[in-house]
A and B are shown apart, each in its own frame.
Chain A
Amino acid sequence: MAKIKMALARPPHEGRRFANTAISIEQALPASRVSLRAGSNELAELTKPLGFKLPTRPGTSKIKSSLSALWLGPDEWLLINSNPKTVSALMEKLDTIKCSNVDISHRNTAIIISGKAVEDVLNAGCPRDLSLDAFPPGSCSRTLFGKIEIILWRLTDDRFHIEVWRSYSEYLWAYLLDAAKDTG
């Protein structure tokens, strides 16, 4: 049998980027993502495989080296490892623990948006209060942007990571660019 030619990964909209003086918007690199579901009794056991305690305060996140955990609901976390190759290892580790783990690395894609106008641009479509008091760095939440659902995650004062289902990323991108015209 001839050697099988390896399929190529084509992440959506790879490498696209936009910047002006006030805002920078770019497609994030591929990553490993797992939707983790666990009840409160199961949390303790997850500390070891993850290497940290899962955040349990609503709307908060935890980052340790390349792995992040975002609280999305009382029994739901989004795990993101910036290395796209680690997902099977992560899934396998979690397989041994009583929890629900589903690989969603390809379901979502991410857009990173940063700059001094970041709140203004996001508030063109997102109805949430994104001031530093209401949504400080580390905050994360599922919410809406225009007509689509996103996960908004604030990394620093002026930098956000937006998770979105891959087929909606075209809409999100176009909307952000339309809003960015209003800045810079």
Chain B
Amino acid sequence: MLLIHCPYCEEERPEVEFAGAGEAHIDRPKDMNAMSDAEFEKFFFIRDNLKGVNYERWRHIHGCGRFFNAVRDTVSDKFLTTYKSGEKKPDPAKLKTGKGAK
């Protein structure tokens, strides 16, 4: 069971309090009706699912209830950082990776 740092509760909490919610930083377009079918497909169905560093949404569903974002390395299964919804995407180059990363 991982520990995940909740940016709202400001502490690490056990994984079971959280629920994953898919890829982060995919904004719902302001004008949905203007989307072509191809654009809709990309928006709704297509996900990067990279091996390595991913931007993810999580919800502290059995805690403060907040959705937040996380950068997680799917190879090491380590959370590199977590941040509040609406905050800017952190620069992966500036994130600590590998041993000891929290």
Q: How large is the interface on A (under 10, 10 to 19, 20 to 34, 35 or more residues)?
A: 10 to 19
Could you tell me if B9 and A59 are in contact, using CB atoms closer than 8 angstroms?
Answer: yes
Indicate if A142 sits at the interface (CB-CB under 8 A).
yes
Size of interface on B: residues with Cβ below 8 Å to A? 14
- Chain B contacts for A59, CB-based, 8 A: 9, 11
> Measured between alpha carbons, how far is A149 from B65 in the docked complex, in Å?
12
> Measured between alpha carbons, how far is A19 from B10 in the docked complex, in Å?
36
Smallest CB-CB separation from B8: which chain A residue?
A: A74
Taking CB atoms and an 8 Å cut-off, the chain B residues in 47-72 that contact chain A are: 62-66
Indicate if A73 sits at the interface (CB-CB under 8 A).
yes
- Chain A contacts for B39, CB-based, 8 A: none
> Measured between alpha carbons, how far is A143 from B65 in the docked complex, in Å?
10
Indicate if A72 sits at the interface (CB-CB under 8 A).
yes
Give the residue of A58, A74, A76, A149 whose beta carbon is less than 8 angstroms from that of B62: A149
Could you tell me if B16 and A144 are in contact, using CB atoms closer than 8 angstroms?
Answer: yes
* Chain B interface residues (CB < 8 Å from chain A): 1, 8-11, 13-14, 16-17, 62-66
* Known contacts A127-B14, A144-B17, then 6 further A-B pairs from the complex at CB < 8 Å, ordered by chain A residue: A59-B9, A72-B64, A72-B65, A74-B8, A144-B14, A149-B62
